[in-house]
Amino acid sequence: MKLVEFSPFFNRKLEEFLDELDISKPFKDVVIYTPMAGGKRLRAYLVWELSRHTGFGEENALKAGIAVELFHSGSLIHDDLPAIDNDTIRRGIPSSHIRFGECKAILAGDFLMLFPGRVLSSLDLESIYIHLLLELWQETTLKVVEGEFDDVFPKSESREQMDKIHSAKTGALFGFCFAAPFIRESKEKIDEMYKLGVRFGRLFQIMDDIKDVISTESELGKTPGKDGKLNKLTILSFESLEEAQIGVEESFQSILGEIDSFSDLKKEMRDIYNLIARR
């Protein structure tokens, strides 16, 4: 299944899942606002596609993808808050705190970042693999939060610091997406896939850095040029735009060389790369 086909399929499943959430309607309205606001669903798609090669199972892949998307949405809500990035637009609509107020947005973000643990614990896996998956999830989500802290309060202005931020804030969640379908396999294989996902996440973040300076608000679905205004460490803190674009292409080709065994995914990844590059 291609990403363009997966996204509407996943959106329907996500909407059904959120409709069944057993929380009060006023709170649910805030909770579902950002997850249902759109997005390419790339993270969930990677879980889905890689699961076809491992026997992880479609239902497990779908639930794991939902968990990832909910957490990601919660992190975006917090990211947009006035105390952090102070962004008023997300996915082309008002940010959660603009639509509902800061207090409700914070609580919705909390819920969306915590609830996925329950989703993952409900997967149809033997208890030992549920335990391993939750360990991987806890490690991943803690890295994301630490990466957000380092992004706002970097210890230095070095390239090494930028790489650390990208690996944690963006890379870790992609690492989980690459590794989760392999949770029944050896620790070496899980680690290999996690590291590959982190590398892809870093590449994704660099592409985002580039798009932040060359795209419009309608293309991005959020305010462009924010990183520069906030003096954040990005690839353009160390390289010219042209150098960064060349480096991205080289890094992507390197990653493709490591997923040769997933021929269908490799072909789709080329399309995904072009999609991200022009978003």
Q: What is the pLDDT of residue 242?
A: 84
The amino acid present at 173, given as its one-letter code, is: L
pLDDT of residue 101: 97
Instruction: Please report the pLDDT score of residue 253 as a whole number.
Output: 80
- Predicted local confidence at residue 195, as pLDDT: 94
Q: What is the pLDDT at residue 239?
A: 83
User: What's the pLDDT at 215?
Assistant: 64
pLDDT, residue 220, reads 59
- For residues 241 and 162, give the distance between their C-alpha atoms in angstroms, rounded to a whole number: 16
- Residue 240: DSSP 8-state: -
pTM of the model: 0.91
Question: The CATH number of the domain where 236 resides is what?
Answer: 1.10.600.10
Is-contact 44 65, C-beta < 8 A? yes
- Judge whether 67 and 119 are in contact, CB under 8 Å: yes
pLDDT at 125: 97
DSSP 56-118: --HHHHHHHHHHHHHHHHHHHHHHHSTTTT---EETTEE-HHHHH-HHHHHHHHHHHHHTHHH
Tens of pLDDT, residue by residue over 187-199, are 999 999 999 999 9
pLDDT value, residue 261? 65
For residue 203, what are its two tokens? 């590449």
Quick check: 65 and 48 in contact, CB under 8 A?
yes
Q: Which domain holds residue 88?
A: 3-278
Quote the pLDDT of residue 117: 97
How far apart (Å, rounded) are the C-alpha atoms in residues 147 and 142?
Answer: 8
In the predicted model, residues of the chain with pLDDT beneath 50 are 279
Tell me the DSSP string of 165-214: HHIIIIIHHHHHHHHGGGTTS-HHHHHHHHHHHHHHHHHHHHHHHHHHHH
Contact 196, 50 (CB under 8 A): no
Q: pLDDT digit string (tens) for 13-60?
A: 999 999 999 999 999 999 999 999 988 899 999 999 999 889 899 999
Q: How many domains does the chain have?
A: 1
Per-residue confidence (pLDDT) for residue 216, from 0 to 100: 62
Distance of CA 23 to the CA centre of its chain: 25
Nearest C-alpha neighbor of 112 from the set 40, 11, 33: 33
